[in-house]
Amino acid sequence: MPGDFLTSNEYRDYPFLHPVQTLLVRSDTRQFPLPQDLIVEAQVSLGAECRYHPVEHVVYLLKISLTGSTLTITLATTAPGANGLILNFNRHVNDREFTVSKATAVDLHTGLPPTPPSGQVTSPPFMTGTLVTGQLADTLALLTSGQYLTGATSIVLEPSLVGQLPPYVRSISTTNAKRLMAGSWNCADPDAPSYILLPYPMTMPMPCVIDQTGIQGEISFLAGYNVTLSEPSGGKQITIGGRIGAGLGQPSGEVPLTPGEQPPDGSAFLDGGPGCGALVTSLAGLPGPNVDLKGGQGVSIYRHPFLRNRLVVDFHLSGLNLQNCASLPLVSSVAVSEQLPSL
């Protein structure tokens, strides 16, 4: 029965840590003990973004204030991710015993719901609570409209009444690493840069192109060009991979540039070449209108038997004297592709 509960808890400070020895300070600097029959029960839940740790942080009674006929009980926390957030529980002065209400976090200064920190796309901190009040008379006797009582951070809620929600995805953002692009090419210069240039020095973090940020609600994933999507058993992760021909297959046109991407001089595309269907006006830096390609000893050049727009450069090495192999430079597929970029 309610009366039995109050009797058995007469000399306890539940739901606050026992004992509450610090006095409440009224706005006129007078001090009073916390009325034991004001708060019967309280529970608070914090999101993972609040970074609450039960050993290092607390939830505490920040203030009890009276405005007209409304008594407001305010809880706050020292968790760093919820700095400046409060829970306000309002009571009418005529509310009955064991009135229950819920509250969600608002900003201490504006009274508005929290927003993500400036420059970030994460969801705002999550904090909610439930409060059960008992008799209000003793507390109302200490206040007139416009006055408040505060206990700073000394009146602490029982740690067992504070829960932290496990982390979960509340929004996603999509980004892409900057793509490789063609560099300048000078066949006559042995020190010319590699045909494929990284968009950033290897000593720097990989730069990203931001597509969309803070996407919420029901989200569907579709495998694009040469992309695989899979969900391992357990359903707690999505793996995005790459495989030639997967997803939507290979693109039939040029992949458009993203804002900020600059193609090499003389081309509208990162690969430095012409668009699909355009005429080739130079080959490895040699201008047209005619460029003769001739094979040599150990090398053959011929038209691909099935692909009309492809030439094959075959380093078969036939006819070469390979008796002294140690004196020959190593030839790899990477080196060949770097030396003949336009083929």
Of these ranges, 20-34, 72-86, 111-125, 289-303, the one predicted with the greatest mean pLDDT is 72-86
What's the CA gap between 126 and 45, in Å, rounded? 8
Determine the pLDDT at residue 6. 57
What's the CA gap between 93 and 135, in Å, rounded? 10
- Tell me how crowded residue 85 is: count the other CB atoms within 10 A of its CB: 23
Our CA angle for 312, 271, 244, nearest 5°, is 70
Determine the pLDDT at residue 1. 46
Alpha helices in the chain (DSSP H): 2-8, 137-140, 333-339
Q: Which stretch of 27-41, 222-236, 270-284 has the lowest confidence by average pLDDT?
A: 270-284
Q: Where are the domains of the chain?
A: 2-164, 293-343
pLDDT band of residue 119 (cuts 50, 70, 90) is low
Q: What share of the chain is helix, strand, coil (3-state, %, to 5)?
A: 10, 30, 60
What's the CA gap between 38 and 132, in Å, rounded? 9
Q: Phi and psi for 40 in degrees, rounded to 5?
A: -90, -40
What's the CA gap between 263 and 270, in Å, rounded? 5
What length is written for the chain?
Answer: 343
More confident residue, 169 or 225: 225
Q: Which stretch of 64-78, 80-94, 127-141, 275-289 has the lowest confidence by average pLDDT?
A: 275-289
Tokens of 270: 């990162």
- Tell me how crowded residue 172 is: count the other CB atoms within 10 A of its CB: 13
| pLDDT reading at 264 higher than 60 | yes
Kindly state the average pLDDT of the residues 249-254. 78
**What one-letter code names the amino acid at 255?**
V
What's the CA gap between 42 and 101, in Å, rounded? 10
Q: Phi and psi for 309 in degrees, rounded to 5?
A: -105, 25
Kindly state the average pLDDT of the residues 103-130. 78
| pLDDT reading at 41 higher than 50 | yes
More confident residue, 282 or 327: 282
Q: Phi and psi for 57 in degrees, rounded to 5?
A: -125, 160
pLDDT, tens digit (0-9, with 9 covering 90-100), for 183-219: 655 555 555 554 455 555 556 666 777 788 878 778 8
- Tell me how crowded residue 336 is: count the other CB atoms within 10 A of its CB: 13
pLDDT, tens digit (0-9, with 9 covering 90-100), for 60-92: 999 999 999 999 999 999 999 898 999 999 999
Determine the pLDDT at residue 115. 74
Sign of CA dihedral 204, 209, 215, 218: negative
**Cα distance between the two ends of the chain:** 88
Contact 108, 125 (CB under 8 A): no
Determine the pLDDT at residue 220. 85
| pLDDT reading at 112 higher than 80 | yes
Return the residue matching tokens 């995005």.
240
What's the CA gap between 14 and 20, in Å, rounded? 9
Sign of CA dihedral 68, 70, 75, 76: negative
Kindly state the average pLDDT of the residues 92-97. 94
Average pLDDT over the chain, rounded to an integer: 78
Instruction: Give the SS3 label for residue 92.
Output: strand
Contact 292, 301 (CB under 8 A): no
Kindly state the average pLDDT of the residues 105-121. 76
| pLDDT reading at 342 higher than 50 | no
Q: Which stretch of 196-210, 246-260, 313-327 has the lowest confidence by average pLDDT?
A: 196-210
